[in-house]
Amino acid sequence: MDSFLEDYEEAPAVVVGGKRRRRRRRRSPATQAALQPLLHLPFLPPQPVSSNEHKSNFKKSKEACLSYIQDALLQKQWKRAAEFLTCYVESLEKDYSREHIGPSEMIWRIGTEILWHHSQSRMKEFSCFMEQMKTLGVKRYLKVCLEHVFHLLCNGQIDEAYQNLSLAESWRFGEQTAIQDKEIKLIQAYRGLLDYCSWSKQKKILLEHGEDGFADLAVEQEMHSYFRKAAVNLKEIIKIPGVWDVFVKCYVDILHDIVPSHELMIDFNTMLQKSKKRKKRQLGLEVIFAALDYAGWKENAKAWSCLARQVKQIVISEKHLDWIKQEWSSRKDWWPDFHFSRYLAKRNWQENKSLSHEKALVAGILLGKDCKYFKYVSHQGCKAQLKRFRMLKKFVTRHNPVYLRISGPPDCSVQR
């Protein structure tokens, strides 16, 4: 406790911290993309002129010093900024606990900027500086840790970043731990992210070696351990409300690879369908097809409705039929028996009309209106005078030619 120099009974600046955190999240990119160093220029809060009278010259001179630093930073004059910062640091010896932003925070932020951009500065010095900053304030400890990690990642020092994250995660400081739980979550998230990176690296290695027919057990085990660690963290993170896209994607990526039939796949598909990006929508289609490859999902109406919805949408727009074609090409040999047998048609109709409706749509599009499944279900549906089945029949009939394009040249698999 003694290592913290600031008296941690200062007035909490929660609002400010909150704002900054949100900004950070919005900006937080995937590790693959270049991480922008987070620029938080310490702008002085506007001082009312009248209060100038009562301030000591010490304070006025330090304020002037700060504005010189600010100017230098804005003009990227790092040497000059360093010169003035050298004069500013003695503010640490004064008590500023009433101020909105205290000198220790200023020094941390300004120092970070200078050290990051200055040509003569080395990463080692930077890390040394960050370590000092960590001791300056208990309330900021985790934030400083996080920023340090970001900078390390920018510099490509993944291992050091990971070490720092682990260290930060295990930090405990009385009630501060509870207060700074958001930072802890972020730390855990990023650790999970790094675990994911390691995992995918391992997977790549494994794949390469796999081609040689050589499977390294150790590598595989390591991979699994990363997976476990990553999964645990990421799962926790997703529970918290917030924008976690990147992390979710990584999580799902892992699961998709290892557990394609995971229940999250449905949500994933839904999410991906909504995306404006084509690649994502295609991925969504992939995901849902993959999920339905598994016996566990055969009777899942929701899964089928996802697939149906997407297929329908593609058919109506007449765009991207090739996606369906691609997915179907590896499945057309066995899906018809697996999902669309006559027996199943009867059973689905009896047990779950919605399920049969969705499946019928898919079957109709993929196999044509003359396929067993569709014929049975639509016949039954029209006999029962259910409107949606009539509409289904109309729809499929109208778009019948599509299946020919999807199923490819007629030399293979003849539809019955």
Quote the CA–CA distance of 271 and 256 in Å, as a whole number: 15
CB nearer another protein, residue 9 or residue 211: 9
Count of C-beta atoms within a 10 Å radius of residue 339? 21
The answer to whether residue 74 forms part of the interface with another protein (CB under 8 A) is no
What is the greatest pairwise CA distance in the chain? 94
CB nearer another protein, residue 78 or residue 297: 78
Residue 266 near residue 284 (C-beta atoms within 8 A):
no
Q: Which of 87, 240, 384, 412 binds another protein (CB under 8 A)?
A: 87
Minimal distance in Å, beta carbon 116 to another protein?
Answer: 12
Quote the CA–CA distance of 335 and 363 in Å, as a whole number: 10
Stretch that binds another protein, among 57-65, 256-264, 326-334, 347-355 (CB under 8 A): 57-65
The answer to whether residue 53 forms part of the interface with another protein (CB under 8 A) is no
Q: Which of 40, 80, 325, 399 binds another protein (CB under 8 A)?
A: 80
The answer to whether residue 123 forms part of the interface with another protein (CB under 8 A) is no
Closest by CA position to 287, among listed 302, 266, 314, 304: 266
The answer to whether residue 95 forms part of the interface with another protein (CB under 8 A) is yes
CB nearer another protein, residue 57 or residue 170: 57
The answer to whether residue 118 forms part of the interface with another protein (CB under 8 A) is yes
Minimal distance in Å, beta carbon 120 to another protein?
Answer: 6
> Please, which of residues 127-146 interact with another protein by CB under 8 A?
128-129, 132, 135-136
The answer to whether residue 212 forms part of the interface with another protein (CB under 8 A) is no
Quote the CA–CA distance of 70 and 74 in Å, as a whole number: 6
Stretch that binds another protein, among 94-102, 179-187, 258-266, 314-322 (CB under 8 A): 94-102
Q: What is the DSSP string of 90-150?
A: GGGGS--TTSSS-HHHHHHHHHHHHHHH-TT--HHHHHHHHHHHHTT-GGGHHHHHHHHHH
**Cα dist. 343→314, 346, 376 in Å?**
29, 5, 10
Angle at 158 between CA 153 and CA 160, to 5 degrees: 100
DSSP H helix total and E strand total for the chain: 21, 0
Place of tokens 């499977």: 215
Closest by CA position to 108, among listed 124, 79, 131, 75: 131
Quote the CA–CA distance of 403 and 56 in Å, as a whole number: 84
The answer to whether residue 98 forms part of the interface with another protein (CB under 8 A) is yes
Minimal distance in Å, beta carbon 66 to another protein?
Answer: 9
> Counting every residue, how long is the chain?
416
Stretch that binds another protein, among 2-10, 184-192, 232-240, 280-288 (CB under 8 A): 2-10
Minimal distance in Å, beta carbon 143 to another protein?
Answer: 19
Stretch that binds another protein, among 122-130, 141-149, 194-202, 271-279 (CB under 8 A): 122-130
The answer to whether residue 90 forms part of the interface with another protein (CB under 8 A) is yes
Stretch that binds another protein, among 85-93, 145-153, 181-189, 357-365 (CB under 8 A): 85-93
Place of tokens 């640490």: 92
Q: Which of 32, 56, 317, 385 binds another protein (CB under 8 A)?
A: 56
Quote the CA–CA distance of 102 and 95 in Å, as a whole number: 9
CB nearer another protein, residue 43 or residue 58: 58
Quote the CA–CA distance of 405 and 232 in Å, as a whole number: 44
Q: For another protein, how many residues bind (rule: CB under 8 A)?
A: 43
Q: Which of 51, 120, 170, 385 binds another protein (CB under 8 A)?
A: 120
- Enumerate binding residues for another protein (CB under 8 A): 2, 5, 7, 56-59, 61, 64-65, 67-68, 78-80, 82-87, 89-90, 92-98, 107, 111, 114-115, 118, 120-121, 125, 128-129, 132, 135-136
